[in-house]
A and B are shown apart, each in its own frame.
Chain A
Amino acid sequence: MSAARAMIRVVDLYKSFGKQQVLKGVTMEFTKGKITTIVGTSGCGKTVLLKHLNALLLPDRGQVFIDSVDITRLKQKDLYEMRGRFGVLFQGAALLDSMTVFDNVAFPLREKTTMAEAEIRKKADERLDQVGLEGMGHKYPAELSGGMRKRAGLARALVMDPEIVLFDEPTTGLDPVLATGIHQLIARTQQTFGFTGVVVSHTIPQVFEISDYVAILANGVIEEFKPTKEFQSSQNPVVQQFIQGQTEGPIQVL
């Protein structure tokens, strides 16, 4: 992987909460226009790592570069501008439950652009169609199923045409059929929009199908980071333990 094509670079990232050290020197990069997946056991710090990529969390030590700009040192104003380049699909979709699905999708357009209401309507409807939620815009998030909420969250993440989209466990809590559906949706929208995708997941092996690169986070560091095919056949004991779901091995469980 050449550095020129790296959209995001994470360098020697450390983060702890109280006495608990979560990230202990994470270094990796995310290639432009590709999907990179980070796998790892629950609670190993995948979401924490993801939240560093758009500076929702700031590291204790280390840097995060987006297009060679260190975002850990940005001023408040530049930080907001930088976040505008991201779309994020949160674990629970994080739709604002005081407004309808349509208003949720239209929300970033209304708040951050000067588009006319007619254009906003058109674009939000288009995104809802693309995730298969046509005609559902008038419902409130509480009235939707988990899968529909995820899709609505995806529509909102994509509505600003972001360069980078972060997916925080997009299929956790969904049945296998729906999980495949969401994976296909991610792959299809990635082909349509060409964004750089970062997926955090532990739904293996299904998530491998949409990933160009896979990294495994364990014990606070990236233990293995390879193109998907090579990752799957990796003899690294950490990878083997994770894929086979064993409790004995180099990953400390419990």
Chain B
Amino acid sequence: MFELLGQIGRFTLTQLAAMGKMFIFLLSALGLAFRRPAKIRLIIYHIKTFGVDSLSVVVLSGFFTGMVMGFQGYYSLRKFNAESWLGSATALSLLRELGPVLAAFMVTGRTGSAMAAELGTMRATEQIDALYSMAINPIKYLVSPRIIASLIAMPLLTAIFDVVGIYGAYLVGVGLLGVSSGSYFSGMESSVVFHDVYSGFIKAVSFGLIITWVCCYKGFHAPPMATGVSQATTESVVLSFVFILVWDYFLTSIML
């Protein structure tokens, strides 16, 4: 009995300690991000790797998501003779929910895992120790620019995902299934309000932060060996997904 209690206690303590370490990591990275000198060139470089390099996968997944929504939306709406609302149904679900979440998932797989692997390798090959020993704070040099870059790039990627998705659904709904083009866009115009747009962007910004935070943390603290790097990469992707979904529920419930 006492043995079991002890185990529960130990487990809780180690989990709490790990969470505390993650938060301290985030706070110091954020604090250092806004301290001079700003690493403008590094930030631009990471906007490129985070944003531009993920563009193709985001466009592709956005397009197919939109096309699937065209079919599924048409199928459900037709049951209520409301297929002319396809445009508004697609736009609302993309802008409010699917755009930010799916774009974040794609970026986690594409860029987040790469970040964890890169930092993990830098840890294993002592490059992070080398930065410390050159009196350079590796969190400021490696993590902070990535965080700023993700805050800028993630909402832009989400916007692209939304737009491509809306046109994907248009292609299926209007092009294949015969919904009228005018009602597709006028329905969207009458039902989408600004709140829908910016709540999606608040999600996108916070998901960007979650991805860089979790993946950089996992990579930064990877055990210094090959299996350590692969383990850190896997954990970073899984944990990012979980954090994104939990945080998404939380944000949705307060912003509805």
Contact = CB atoms under 8 A, between A and B. Distances in A.
Contacts of B129: 51, 56, 88, 90, 94
A83 B130 contact: no
A84 B127 contact: no
Interface string A172-184: 0000000000000
Nearest to B131: A96
Contact of B133 (A81, A88, A91, A92): A88
Nearest to A84: B135
A56 B134 contact: no
Contact of A94 (B130, B136, B137, B141): B130
A90 B122 CA distance: 13
Contacts of A90: 126, 129-130
Interface string A101-125: 0000001100110000000000000
B93 interface: no
A96 B141 CA distance: 12
B132 A56 contact: yes
Contacts of B76: none
A54 interface: yes
A72 to B, nearest CB: 15
Contacts of B135: 80-81, 83-84, 108, 112
Contacts of B127: 94-97
A111 B134 contact: yes
Nearest to A159: B134
Interface in B119-173: 122, 125-127, 129-137, 141
Contacts of B131: 96
B136 A111 contact: yes
Interface in A139-189: 160, 166
Contacts of B137: 80
A91 B133 CA distance: 14
A35 B187 CA distance: 79
Point out which of B125, B131, B141 has the most chain A C-beta atoms below 10 A from its C-beta. Answer: B125
A106 to B, nearest CB: 12
B126 A83 contact: no
B126 A112 contact: no
A92 B131 CA distance: 14
A208 interface: no
Interface in A205-227: none
B125 A94 contact: yes
Nearest to A91: B126
Contacts of A92: 125-126
B196 to A, nearest CB: 40
A108 B135 CA distance: 9
A107 B134 CA distance: 9
Contacts of A56: 129, 132-133
Contact of A54 (B125, B133, B136, B141): B133
A9 to B, nearest CB: 20
Nearest to B121: A97
A86 interface: yes
Contact of B134 (A83, A91, A166): A83
Nearest to A54: B133
Contacts of B134: 83-84, 88, 107-108, 111-112, 160
A66 to B, nearest CB: 14
5 contacts: A80-B135, A83-B135, A94-B130, A108-B135, A111-B134
The 10 closest A-B pairs by CB, nearest first: A94-B130, A94-B126, A88-B133, A83-B135, A84-B135, A80-B135, A90-B126, A108-B134, A94-B127, A111-B136
